[in-house]
Chain A
Amino acid sequence: GAVVSQHPSRVICKSGTSVKIECRSLDFQATTMFWYRQFPKQSLMLMATSNEGSKATYEQGVEKDKFLINHASLTLSTLTVTSAHPEDSSFYICSARDDVRGNYGYTFGSGTRLTVV
């Protein structure tokens, strides 16, 4: 089945530093990938939609300058949390949509647990 590799799975960083998270579709092409954030006991909240070769579309309230998204190929999207602060500590999950399967082809990465100290 479709696999999405997300790295790192866990990261602890100091306040003020930047963290890059990678999301890679291993056996399918994904023009569109999505980045979510989930706080404890809450649902997944979409942060942004990443489109290969173009700018990401950010949801309302998400700072584009803080959460930099790059989708340079059909199999790779990256999310960089810049100048991280403790309130950015969360579970970040990516999802890639299979170009062939469309709406029935979403696969999630295993998530990245970010702790900012």
Chain B
Amino acid sequence: RKEVEQDPGPFNVPEGATVAFNCTYSNSASQSFFWYRQDCRKEPKLLMSVYSSGNEDGRFTAQLNRASQYISLLIRDSKLSDSATYLCVVNDLYGNKLVFGAGTILRVKS
């Protein structure tokens, strides 16, 4: 089983749509969780950290369910510029490194 699993997509949505991505992780000792965004042929960039109580940043909302070892990202009012690959990332306290999911491709179309 992969340490971090994501639906690869692609998710094809119209502008203005709401879209949700899910991610599961296998290591119950994981302590830090992130969503990164990666554009084609570019480096990953931090979108947002994910906190236990859930957190929101503008149109983006992240949720964490430790019991189910599940992380989600909700994007409201999708923009064309949101088209990218979204990476679920987990930092293992004991491993002391970032573990990346394979990413979910989002394509927002006009």
Binding site for B on A (CB under 8 A): 32, 34, 42-44, 46, 49, 91, 93, 95, 103-104, 106, 108-111, 113
Nearest chain B CB to A82's CB is how many angstroms away?
A: 24
Chain B hits for A110, CB < 8 A: 42-43
Nearest chain A CB to B53's CB is how many angstroms away?
A: 16
Q: Are A95 and B98 in contact (CB under 8 A)?
A: yes
Pick the contact of B41 from A44, A91, A106 — CB < 8 Å? Answer: A91
> DSSP class of A's interface residues: helix, strand, loop or mixed?
strand
In angstroms, Cα B103 to Cα A104, docked, is: 20
Q: Given known contacts A43-B87, A103-B31, is B43 in contact with A93 (CB within 8 Å)?
A: yes
Name the residue on B nearest A48 (C-beta): B97
Chain A hits for B99, CB < 8 A: 46
Nearest chain A CB to B86's CB is how many angstroms away?
A: 12
Say if the beta carbon of B45 comes within 8 Å of chain A. Answer: yes
Pick the contact of A42 from B41, B44, B97, B102 — CB < 8 Å? Answer: B102
Q: Given known contacts A108-B43, A110-B42, A113-B41, is B31 in contact with A44 (CB within 8 Å)?
A: no
Name the residue on B nearest A57 (C-beta): B97
8 Å CB interface, B55-110 against A: 87, 91, 96-103
Binding site for A on B (CB under 8 A): 31-32, 41-46, 49, 87, 91, 96-103
Chain A hits for B46, CB < 8 A: 106
Q: Are A109 and B43 in contact (CB under 8 A)?
A: yes
Chain A hits for B98, CB < 8 A: 34, 46, 95, 106
Pick the contact of B97 from A34, A43, A109, A113 — CB < 8 Å? Answer: A34
Could you list 20 A-B pairs, sorted by A, with CB under 8 Å? A34-B98, A42-B102, A43-B87, A44-B44, A44-B87, A44-B100, A46-B97, A46-B98, A46-B99, A49-B96, A91-B41, A93-B43, A93-B44, A95-B98, A104-B32, A106-B98, A108-B44, A109-B43, A111-B42, A111-B43
